[in-house]
Structure 1
Amino acid sequence: MAGRGPLSLSLSLSSANDLYDQYGPHLSVLRLNRWLHWETAREPMHYDIDVNKSCGVGPGLVFAKAVLHKVHSSNENVVIGLVPCAVGGTKIQKWAKGLGLYDSMVQRAMAAVEQKRGGGKIEALLWYQGETDTINLDDAEIYAEKMETLIRNIRADLGLPHLPVIQVALASGEGNYTGIVRAAQKGIQLQNVRTVDAYRLPLLNDNLHLNTVAQIHLGHMLAQSYLSLLAELNSTPQP
């Protein structure tokens, strides 16, 4: 989710401008920074969160702008807040309840609601992770169990039993067991969980991370999946 798409591209000026229009800032999209203050969201979104990596364009800001345009275009008072929490190169076991990454994610989510001016609520969790879990067979085989536990835990800790979760099936992996992790991601059957597939989206030269164009496309895929789920939830009361 942190994104590694380059912000500066060797393209014609018009093409570069078109891409920037997709991932550039919007006054109605904010991000919660490392110090738990709201600010205008800009790429790289995770520059102060994923501090040990070189961050770039990710799907989050594109997602928010697409949702804003589709759902809230007629209401200038609506603001979408993004809460970046991603740390690249981490196995899903590192996101277990009680460990630093998970606890920080929950704390930041709670702080976001407390500090949202004019009120607000958490609408969804976006999740793109797992390349490191493809290295060892044992990690790949327990991925589904760990992911389902994470979803149950965060819903319980946030008091949101029906929280929508939009996850991404891997585009690539660091090891030989990418297929097992992808199958695990696509096989999760928990309520209000949707999966978008990043397979075959274009990668950087490292053959691991999505390039800028792919990140933009993924942002729109996430938005479409979220909006589809939202429509279902609005038409079908939750138990």
Structure 2
Amino acid sequence: MGPMSVLSWLLCVLAAARCGEGAVKDIFILAGQSNMAGRGGVTDGKWDGNVPPESAPSLQVLRLSARLQWEEACEPLHADIDVGKRCGVGPGLAFANEVVRLRGGGGPVLGLVPCAVGGTGIVQWRRGSRLYGELVRRASESVKNGGGTIRAIVWYQGESDTVIEEDADAYKLRMETFVTDLRHDLHLPSLLVIQVALASGEGKFIEKVRNAQLGIKLSNVKCVDAKGLRLKADNLHLTTMSEVHLGIQLAHVYQASIRHQSNHTQGS
């Protein structure tokens, strides 16, 4: 066993021990399609294995596996969730590590719940669908053992809805319905939703979907704009470092949101 394998094994043991101690977790649901599942470093169906420091494993960050077990969070986060495609680096671990850094390294363990599946349109996430049911099931299971609180859903989806104009036109209403249904079914009426406005798309109606995302006015729904982040040669998926930069931006939006909520509570 090489040095990196030993290190990874030790991190797994220590992370599992922390979880076994019943450590309180701040839980984040990661959902959407391929750019959330992560395609950073993937070329011709192979992942290069390159993990930037910002996305390195940490004793402060766990993930919920496909078998509903808490374990060390490491890239690719969605390897056992988005099983039909080759996964690489996504924004999730960079997001979690930046949240830890922003709060000074202390506080509860972060629990990531990967749910993203590549190539999925928003209608495949509506209430009653398999993907919606899996998201609700995994989110609900995440708080059962070891406690914890779901702090936010981080959502990056919409590229598949840029192909047909009717889908692009319907995106805003479908996304608002998704948020409302999810909050109801998770019994979290004020659940923070941080969505990503598209950097790319599979079709020509990218701006229509982007305008829909940027135009959502539901309470406690925030948006991070990915436009301008560097894309891979396929002009669809973010590069490894773009995924990292996005994750860091998402973390800053999350921190700003909870600061705002705290200030509002103290002022009321």
> What TM-score, normalized by structure 1, do the two folds share?
0.92
Deviation at 1:72, TM superposition (A): 5.1
SS of the counterpart of 2:209?
helix
SS of the counterpart of 1:148?
helix
**CA root-mean-square deviation:** 1.5
Deviation at 1:28, TM superposition (A): 1.2
CA displacement, residues 10-49 of structure 1 (integer Å, 9 cap, x when unaligned) = xxxxxx7xx6211111111000000000000000000000
Q: Tell me the amino acid that sits aligned with residue 40 of structure 2.
A: G
Aligned: 1:98 with 2:128: yes
Rounded to whole Å, the distance in 2 between the matches of 1:52 and 1:158 is 27
Rounded to whole Å, the distance in 2 between the matches of 1:53 and 1:134 is 20
Rounded to whole Å, the distance in 2 between the matches of 1:165 and 1:213 is 23
SS of the counterpart of 2:211?
helix
Aligned: 1:81 with 2:121: no
SS of the counterpart of 1:80?
strand
> What TM-score, normalized by structure 2, do the two folds share?
0.82
Aligned: 1:31 with 2:59: no
State the partner residue of 1:59: 91
Aligned: 1:70 with 2:102: yes
Aligned: 1:136 with 2:164: yes
Change over 3 Å in CA distance of 1:121–1:72 after alignment to 2? farther
SS of the counterpart of 2:194?
strand
- Residue pair 2:197, 2:224 contacting (<8 A) in 1 also: yes
Q: Tell me the amino acid that sits aligned with residue 137 of structure 1.
A: E
Rounded to whole Å, the distance in 1 between the matches of 2:242 and 2:48 is 15
Rounded to whole Å, the distance in 1 between the matches of 2:195 and 2:104 is 23
Equivalent residue for 2:155, pick from 124, 127, 150: 127
Rounded to whole Å, the distance in 1 between the matches of 2:197 and 2:52 is 26
- Residue pair 2:100, 2:106 contacting (<8 A) in 1 also: no
Q: Which runs of 5+ in 1 are unaligned?
A: 10-15
Q: Tell me the amino acid that sits aligned with residue 112 of structure 1.
A: S
Change over 3 Å in CA distance of 1:35–1:72 after alignment to 2? farther
SS of the counterpart of 1:83?
strand
Moved more, 20-29 or 204-213: 20-29
State the partner residue of 1:13: none
Equivalent residue for 1:109, pick from 139, 147, 151: 139
Deviation at 1:164, TM superposition (A): 0.6
Rounded to whole Å, the distance in 2 between the matches of 1:214 and 1:69 is 19
Deviation at 1:8, TM superposition (A): 3.0
Equivalent residue for 2:259, pick from 210, 214, 231: 231
Q: Tell me the amino acid that sits aligned with residue 54 of structure 1.
A: R
SS of the counterpart of 2:185?
helix
Aligned: 1:216 with 2:216: no
CA displacement, residues 113-137 of structure 1 (integer Å, 9 cap, x when unaligned) = 002x2x2100000000010100000
Equivalent residue for 1:170, pick from 198, 203, 215: 198
Rounded to whole Å, the distance in 2 between the matches of 1:74 and 1:35 is 28
Equivalent residue for 1:153, pick from 167, 181, 185: 181
State the partner residue of 2:48: 8
Deviation at 1:237, TM superposition (A): 3.2
Deviation at 1:73, TM superposition (A): 1.5
SS of the counterpart of 1:145?
helix
Q: Which runs of 5+ in 2 are unaligned?
A: 1-35, 42-46
SS of the counterpart of 2:265?
coil
Rounded to whole Å, the distance in 1 between the matches of 2:83 and 2:106 is 37
